[in-house]
């Protein structure tokens, strides 16, 4: 079974030429065993799709919850689809904490993506350090899932990728241990079975994100049996990212 390896470049690199260099370094060395999706800054997408559209699948890091109109600075799901991207990350913890996005907005984005495009949404959830220390991880991810999936029908669930990304592990070099990832995975399945019913148990795609690197990728994929990974920092280092992609 192919694993999903998603690169989240965040607001990097500063120049499009540097991004091209990274893609050129990956080209031909990613072996195709897994599904690799590159999510660069949206402003680079047009050029990347023209030059590397045959080599990679592309996605974006965010979208708005309306398709068009007077929303300065925003990009919509239909725009993303029309340019040729296939995936869209929503609810990333940096969007939630820095840009104050809430579950209600993320739910609107998810509904619009699923109802009006063929894009695959990657819904990020996860607890922060205080919540983990207070042993509230289950409650936090249950609340996020319930709110973000409000009014999303069961039949659409297999179109969504759920990214479990503990906030304390993102960009810190401190990754979740095998037992924590397995625990979170089991919790997500249980919460979704409670929201919907048991029939969805084997239809959910759950990936892990948070300081994934070439050393821990085997633990995440083979130890925790995750369906894939969301990779930030290491996805900008071609040598490391190739090893991650070829797991
Ligand atoms: C992320 O941005 O989603 C992420 C997981 O980042 P990093 O791999 O750098 O922790």
Omega before residue 185 within 30° of 0, cis = no
pLDDT tens-digit readout, 85-100: 999 999 999 999 999 9
CA of 69 to the centre of ligand 1 (A): 32
Question: Confidence class of residue 161 from pLDDT cuts 50, 70 and 90?
Answer: very high
Mean pLDDT value of segment 101-111? 98
pLDDT for 173? 94
Q: Domain ranges in the chain?
A: 4-246
| pLDDT over 90 at 111, yes or no | yes
Mean pLDDT value of segment 1-19? 97
Would you name the residues annotated as active-site residues?
92, 165
pLDDT for 1? 87
Ligand 1 touching residue 207 (CB < 6 A): no
| pLDDT over 90 at 140, yes or no | yes
- Which is the CATH superfamily of the domain at 4-246? Aldolase class I (3.20.20.70)
Question: Confidence class of residue 216 from pLDDT cuts 50, 70 and 90?
Answer: very high
Ligand 1 touching residue 170 (CB < 6 A): yes
Contact 90, 123 (CB under 8 A): yes
CA of 41 to the centre of ligand 1 (A): 15
Measured CA distances, 151 to 79, 107, 108, 146, 154 (Å)? 24, 9, 10, 9, 9
pLDDT for 31? 86
Other beta carbons within 10 Å of 88: 24
pLDDT tens-digit readout, 114-123: 999 999 999 9
pLDDT for 32? 87
| pLDDT over 90 at 46, yes or no | yes
pLDDT tens-digit readout, 63-88: 999 999 999 999 999 999 999 999 99
pTM listed for this prediction: 0.97
| pLDDT over 90 at 28, yes or no | no
Integer Cα distance of 219 and 129 in angstroms: 22
Residues 6 or more apart whose CB falls under 8 angstroms from that of 168 comprise 127, 128, 129, 132, 174, 210
Percent of the chain at pLDDT exceeding 90: 97
Integer Cα distance of 145 and 139 in angstroms: 10
Pocket test for ligand 1, best of 12, 38, 231 (most atoms within 8 A of CB): 231
């Amino acid at each position: 079974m192919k694993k999903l390896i998603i690169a989240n470049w965040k607001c990097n690199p500063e120049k499009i030429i540097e991004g091209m260099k990274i893609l050129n370094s990956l080209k031909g060395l990613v072996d195709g065993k897994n599904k690799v999706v590159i999510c660069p800054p949206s402003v680079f997408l047009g050029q990347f799709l023209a030059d590397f559209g045959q080599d990679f699948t592309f996605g974006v890091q965010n979208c708005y919850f309306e398709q068009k109109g007077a929303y300065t600075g925003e990009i919509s799901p239909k725009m993303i689809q029309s340019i040729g991207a296939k995936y869209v990350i929503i609810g990333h913890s940096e969007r939630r904490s820095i840009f104050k996005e809430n579950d209600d907005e993320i739910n609107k984005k998810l509904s619009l993506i699923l109802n009006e495009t063929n894009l695959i949404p990657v819904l990020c959830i996860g607890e922060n350090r205080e919540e983990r220390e207070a042993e509230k991880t289950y409650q936090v991810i249950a609340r996020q899932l319930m709110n973000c999936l409000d009014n999303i029908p069961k039949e659409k669930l297999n179109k969504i990728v759920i990214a479990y990304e503990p906030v304390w592990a993102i960009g810190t070099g401190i990754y979740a241990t095998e037992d924590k990832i397995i625990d979170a995975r089991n919790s997500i399945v249980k919460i979704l079975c409670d929201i919907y019913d048991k029939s969805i148990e084997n239809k959910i795609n759950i990936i892990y994100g948070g300081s994934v690197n070439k050393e821990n990728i085997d633990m995440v994929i083979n130890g925790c049996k995750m369906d894939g990974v969301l990779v930030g920092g290491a996805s900008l280092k071609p040598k490391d990212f190739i090893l991650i992609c070829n797991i």
